Structure 1
Amino acid sequence: MTTHPEQGHELVPRPERSPEAVRVALARVAPHRLGEMEQHKEQALATAIQDGRIGHLQHWLTHWQVQVEIERRPDLHARHHAALTALNESSGKDAPEFRTAMDELHAVEAEARQAVSA
């Protein structure tokens, strides 16, 4: 069963900006990434405690909001997946297709980041 059935339709509503809401949304659109999210949270928390700055946790939450946005929108998911595939199939960092794929990854993430910050 795929979580990305049709292009153009959001799979779940955009979650509120809270760790629990983002986790619940991720569990619905990409449950295989929950472990990665948890590990990243533990790293952010440890760094925040060490540095005494909450910014690490804010960055973590924004990062996962962006990831959920990519996963919940089939258009962004398809572009992201195609760019990752192109990266993996490129002949190296000097290949033109590598740069094109990296540019597309950055564009997808920028679009998702703008959507969640609006």
Structure 2
Amino acid sequence: MSSQPVHGGGELIPRPEKTFPALRTALAQVAPSRLPEMTTERDTVFTMATQSNSFGPIAMFQLKWAAVIEIERRPDLARRLHAAERAAQELDNSDPAWQAAMDEIRAIMNAARAAVAGDTGDTGE
């Protein structure tokens, strides 16, 4: 049994805003082990944005982490993604099941990105 509240649709937390503080807070709730990865990537992205005088890298960072959180805040979706990732790592890439796992990963990630970008509320289920 989860110690975190489950919101409508099996969501652990509501979808956060795409601001760095909101994304960091949400990630701390749904995937705290990934906080160091997010912080390191943030530092790299902000340096790239400064050097290129462009907000593009920051926007991509926000979209990526919003999509990660979109998946992790939905335990059913996270289980599907992690199972597909394990299969992709364990299977030989000539195995048709490897391609199926890669297709599942791609579909989940694309649906999560679309959901957080406002294209759709659905995350591929």
TM-score by shorter chain over 0.5: yes
Q: Is structure 2 residue 14 aligned with structure 1 residue 13?
A: yes
Residues 98 and 4 of structure 1: CA distance in aligned 2, closer, same or farther (over 3 Å): farther
Residues 3 and 48 of structure 1: CA distance in aligned 2, closer, same or farther (over 3 Å): farther
TM-score by length of 1: 0.89
Q: Deviations over 1:32-63 (max 9, x none)?
A: 00000001111111111221211000000110
Q: Relative contact order (alpha carbons < 8 A, sep ≥ 6): 1 or 2 greater?
A: 1
Q: CA–CA distance in 2 between the matches of 1:18 and 1:55?
A: 14
TM-score by length of 2: 0.84
User: What residue is the counterpart of 1:111 in the other structure?
Assistant: 111
Q: Is structure 2 residue 109 aligned with structure 1 residue 100?
A: no
User: What residue is the counterpart of 2:38 in the other structure?
Assistant: 37
> Which 4+ runs in 1 deviate beyond 2 A?
1-6
- Please report the RMSD computed on the Cα atoms of aligned residues, expressed in angstroms: 2.0
Secondary structure of the structure 2 residue equivalent to 1:65: helix
Residues 37 and 56 of structure 1: CA distance in aligned 2, closer, same or farther (over 3 Å): same
Contact 1:84 1:101 in 2 (8 A): yes
Q: CA–CA distance in 2 between the matches of 1:113 and 1:81?
A: 17
Residues 116 and 32 of structure 1: CA distance in aligned 2, closer, same or farther (over 3 Å): same
> Residue 115 of structure 1 aligns to which amino acid in structure 2?
A
Secondary structure of the structure 1 residue equivalent to 2:10: coil
> Residue 86 of structure 1 aligns to which amino acid in structure 2?
A
Q: Deviations over 1:59-101 (max 9, x none)?
A: 001100000001001121011011111111102x332222111
Q: CA–CA distance in 2 between the matches of 1:67 and 1:95?
A: 27
